[in-house]
Amino acid sequence: MTALPDKYFLVAGFAEGATELNAFDNALMKAGIGNVNLIRVTSILPPAAQHVPAIRLPLGALVPTAYADETSAVPGTQISAAVACGVPDDPALPGVIMEHHMIGTEQECRDRVVRKLEEALAQRNYRLTDVKIAAASGVVKKVGSAVAAVILWA
């Protein structure tokens, strides 16, 4: 059993690389999370988790992360990734994390991830009190990758 995360922060990055995997890795590095092991989680923010500035994570740490990524090897293509966290007004309730990635602008990606967040909170009958968003976007030169992530930490 792992500890329930009580902190979270959002990061994002765009980078190029020689291959799709290298571009993704470089985007993780740009976002500041390239030297940890991301454990992909779904869309729940633990109750009462506190938003904090980015934490310097231990190298090689196993890190629960909700993330979106878009990678392309088509020069001239604009790619984007975004994450959004919604916190309900009741601190005893969990928050919701949504991810979106696409070919398109950063603003389009932000708009879509917020719509997903609003729908998820409405489905739960939660009243939204706070939203945090991180997004990355770029125009591909050779092979590019955009990453946005919510890092959960105890």
Q: Each residue of 27-84: pLDDT tens digit? A: 999 999 999 999 999 999 999 899 999 999 999 999 999 999 999 999 999 999 999 9
pLDDT band at 4 (very low <50, low <70, confident <90, very high): very high
**For the chain, what percent of residues have pLDDT higher than 70?**
99
Place of tokens 């009243």: 127
Sheet holding 78-88, edge to edge: 44-45, 95-103, 78-88, 128-139
How large is the average pLDDT for residues 101-130?
A: 97
Class level of CATH domain 7-153: alpha beta
User: pLDDT value at position 136?
Assistant: 99
> In b/e form, how buried is each residue of 9-41, taking b as 16+ CB within 10 angstroms?
bbbbbbbbbeeeeebbbbbbebbbbbebebeeb
Sheet holding 144-153, edge to edge: 37-40, 62-72, 144-153, 7-16, 50-51
pTM, full prediction? 0.95
For residues 115 and 45, give the distance between their C-alpha atoms in angstroms, rounded to a whole number. 17
Length of the chain: 154
pLDDT exceeds 70 at position 1: no
Count CA within 13 A, CB hemisphere, residue 114: 13
| Sequence spans of domains, the chain | 7-153
For residue 148, give the nearest of 45, 33, 85, 69 by alpha carbon. Answer: 69
pLDDT exceeds 80 at position 2: no
